[in-house]
Amino acid sequence: MQISLQNQVAVITGASSGIGSGIAKSLASAGATVIVNHSSERSADEAKAVLKEITDAGGKGITYQCDVSKEDQVIKMFQDVVSEFGTVDILINNAGIQKDSKFTEMTIDQWNAVIGVNLTGQFLCAREAIKEFLRRGIDPSRSIACGKIIHISSVHEIIPWAGHANYASSKGAIRMLMQTLAQEYGADKIRVNSICPGAIQTPINKDAWSTPDALNSLLTLIPYNRIGQPQDIGNLAAFLASDLADYITGTSIFVDGGMTTFESFSTGG
């Protein structure tokens, strides 16, 4: 049994670092042509470095700058990708940010920035992807399905998170977006799922792992007793995007070393 994404084109948002870069590498190694999206000029070099690793390993792809919270930019990205590669088969809705604050001090800018990227960005990209899937229709030389969307959510789609109300709200909403799209487009053979990562070692949560004290405290929340790596998410993304997962749609899969078993209850409650 082998995961193959041969002949397929995948857009991975927020792929210049962290989980997105891990997913781009996994999808490329399974044969997909990857669009390594990054949000701004500042992340261009990082995106190029991710792409270089992919092409050095024999993979194919391009980098593409687009702020997913901006409708005109998202529409243009999908138009450009379709005109260069013919279509899009897989969307990995990954781009996400945190702007943490105690709730009573949270500014409207912190709220809007997080909802804009994490939720509106996933809406815009999913809308453009689904339009393209429907335009192309099913092509069995590519996949049994008409298209695949994987939302990158979080354990915080179900774990409340004090000091992170904007982030947790965006992730809770992603669950309903994902399930609604799976319901609405199931008959069109479009599969829509979420991956919910726990603590993965990336720049977004550097404060939680970059000192021994912080890491030890983080590990008390993880029964499996290690921090996750982008590859842990990439492995599942490649499987979920492939025809091996053809009967999986409308679900959230947690990749969290057991974080959602609520470890603190092992000695309390």
Task: Considering the complex, state which of residue 3 and residue 15 has its C-beta at the smaller distance from ligand BGC.
Answer: 15
DSSP secondary structure of 87-113: ---EEEE---------GGG--HHHHHH
Q: Which range of residues in 8-16, 69-77, 200-208, 247-255 is near ligand BGC by CB under 6 A?
A: 200-208
**DSSP assignment of 194-214:** EEEE-SB-SGGGGGGTSSHHH
CB of 155 to ligand BGC, least distance (A): 6
- Residue among 32, 192, 199, 237 that touches ligand BGC (CB under 6 A): 199
> What radius of gyration, in Å, describes the C-alpha atoms of the chain?
18
Tokens of 240: 């979920």
How far is CA 201 from each of CA 14, 51, 164, rounded to the nearest angstrom? 16, 20, 18
Of the residues 20, 22, 198, 234, which one makes contact with ligand BGC according to CB under 6 A: 198
Q: CB-wise, 21 or 33, nearer to ligand BGC?
A: 21
Applying CB under 6 A, the site for ligand BGC has a residue count of 9
Which is closer to ligand BGC, CB of 101 or CB of 205? 205
For 23, counting Cβ atoms within 10 Å of its Cβ (0-12 exposed, 13-18 middle, 19+ buried), the class is: buried
Does residue 20 interact with ligand BGC by CB under 6 A? no
What's 255's DSSP letter? Answer: E
Among residues 64, 167, 224, 247, the one annotated as catalytic is 167
Q: How far is the CB of 88 from ligand BGC (least distance, A)?
A: 26
Query: Taking a C-beta distance cutoff of 8 angstroms, is the pair 264, 235 a contact?
Result: no
Shortest spacing between CB 125 and ligand BGC, in angstroms = 19
Between CA 16 and CA 18 the distance in angstroms is: 7
Q: Which stretch binds ligand BGC (CB under 6 A): 63-71, 73-81, 150-158, 181-189?
A: 150-158
Q: What minimum distance in Å lies between the beta carbon of 154 and ligand BGC?
A: 3
By CB under 6 A, what part of segment 153-172 binds ligand BGC?
154-156
The closest of 198, 263, 260 to 230, measured between CA atoms, is 198
Would you call 224 a catalytic residue per the annotation? no
Could you tell me the smallest distance in angstroms from the CB atom of residue 17 to ligand BGC? 13
**CA distances to 49, 59, 60, 204 from 54, in Å:** 9, 5, 7, 22
Residue 192's Cβ-count burial label (10 Å; 0-12, 13-18, 19+) is: buried
- 230 near ligand BGC, judged by CB under 6 A: no
Q: Would you tell me which residues interact with ligand BGC (CB under 6 A)? A: 98, 154-156, 198-199, 204-205, 208
Query: Could you give the residue numbers annotated as active site?
Result: 167
